[in-house]
């Protein structure tokens, strides 16, 4: 019995060592693949920017992308903004009323919509609707070898497929964000005034006094970066789609997830940067109003 235990001990040790070694090897492989993927994405983004400034894409392609990304997304963005404004009113009214500050509800709703909820939620909705559609469309073209056929004819797939969509997202997502902000502000004001009975004069006077052009610039600046991120990530995932229907569906899903994570990370970095910029331009002042 003792000899059996002694003979099993080295094999157990070797098994544990092999498991640890495999785990380290898997971790190393994952890190290498992550770095390689980031490098490939950076190269793709660089090529897109190069084609963007090298040659103006076809007007028809740009107009089509503007319609698909902007006009067709308008109803869902407007509806989302309206309900978000109303939800803000419902969730905040009791707390504000407790301190006799219900007339200042407009300040909180407007600032939230201008700076955070308007840009972030509009971008999230568009990452799901637009980003997934772009990835699926380009992924289908990759699977059916349409991209290879385009390249074989001497045309750049990036110029014809990526640049128009990038321009459309760059232009339309800030515009859609403005629509989401407007509808959120209007929805919150409607609910506060007509449901909770808040005095409209004080509501709008306080809201106007405490929000300004900087707050709108704050949100629109974020939306520009969000739009570029959605376009580039979705196109990249479509270009690298695996074969088959499953590969296209996976590309669309990954495009949305990665775009959503990048939106949140950009939101944090841009908030810090814009607040620092405000303090640099107007030192000593609070970046509200």
Residue in 281, 37, 255 with CA at minimum distance from that of residue 128: 255
Domain boundaries, the chain: 1-54, 56-281
* pLDDT, averaged across the chain: 87
Mean pLDDT of 61-87: 92
Note the pLDDT tens digit of each residue in 93-142: 988 888 888 888 989 999 999 999 999 999 999 999 999 999 999 999 99
pLDDT at 230: 95
Mean pLDDT of 142-168: 88
pLDDT at 4: 53
Q: Which comes out higher in pLDDT, residue 176 or 18?
A: 176
| Torsion sign (Cα): 80, 85, 90, 95 | positive
pLDDT at 1: 47
Note the pLDDT tens digit of each residue in 158-204: 888 999 999 999 999 999 999 999 999 999 999 999 999 989 999 89
pLDDT at 234: 94
- DSSP string spanning 163-182? HHHHHHHHHHHHHHHHHHHH
pLDDT at 80: 92
Q: Write down the pTM of the prediction.
A: 0.86
**Alpha carbon distance 66, 72 (integer Å):** 9
Note the pLDDT tens digit of each residue in 232-246: 999 999 998 888 888
pLDDT at 228: 95
Q: Are 85 and 203 in contact (CB under 8 A)?
A: no
Residue in 17, 81, 23, 10 with CA at minimum distance from that of residue 223: 81
Residue 78 confidence class, pLDDT cut points 50, 70, 90: very high
pLDDT at 13: 53
């Amino acid at each position: 019995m003792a000899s059996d235990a002694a003979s099993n001990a080295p094999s157990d040790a070797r098994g544990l060592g092999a498991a640890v070694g495999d785990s380290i090897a898997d971790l190393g492989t994952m890190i290498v693949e992550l770095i390689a993927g980031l490098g490939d994405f950076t190269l793709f983004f660089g090529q897109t920017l190069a084609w963007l400034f090298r040659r103006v894409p076809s007007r028809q392609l740009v107009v089509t992308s503007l319609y698909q990304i902007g006009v067709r997304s308008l109803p869902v963005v407007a509806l989302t903004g309206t309900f978000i404004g109303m939800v803000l009113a419902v969730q905040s009214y009791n707390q504000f009323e407790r301190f006799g500050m219900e007339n200042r509800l407009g300040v909180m709703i407007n600032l939230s919509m201008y700076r955070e909820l308007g840009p972030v939620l509009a971008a999230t909705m568009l990452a799901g609707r637009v980003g997934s559609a772009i990835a699926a469309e380009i992924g289908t073209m990759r699977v059916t070898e349409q991209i290879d056929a385009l390249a074989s004819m001497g045309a750049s797939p990036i110029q014809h497929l990526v640049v128009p969509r990038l321009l459309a997202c760059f232009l339309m997502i800030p515009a859609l964000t403005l629509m989401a902000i407007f509808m959120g502000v209007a929805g919150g004001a409607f609910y506060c005034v007509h449901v909770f009975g808040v005095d409209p004069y004080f509501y709008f006077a306080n809201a106007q006094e405490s929000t300004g052009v900087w707050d709108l610039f704050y949100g629109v600046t974020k939306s520009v970066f969000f739009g570029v991120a959605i376009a580039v990530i979705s196109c990249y995932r479509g270009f690298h789609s695996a074969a088959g229907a499953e590969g296209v569906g996976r590309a669309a899903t990954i495009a949305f997830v990665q775009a959503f994570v990048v939106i949140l990370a950009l939101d944090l970095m841009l908030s810090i940067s814009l607040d620092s910029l405000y303090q640099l331009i107007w030192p000593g002042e609070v970046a509200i109003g």
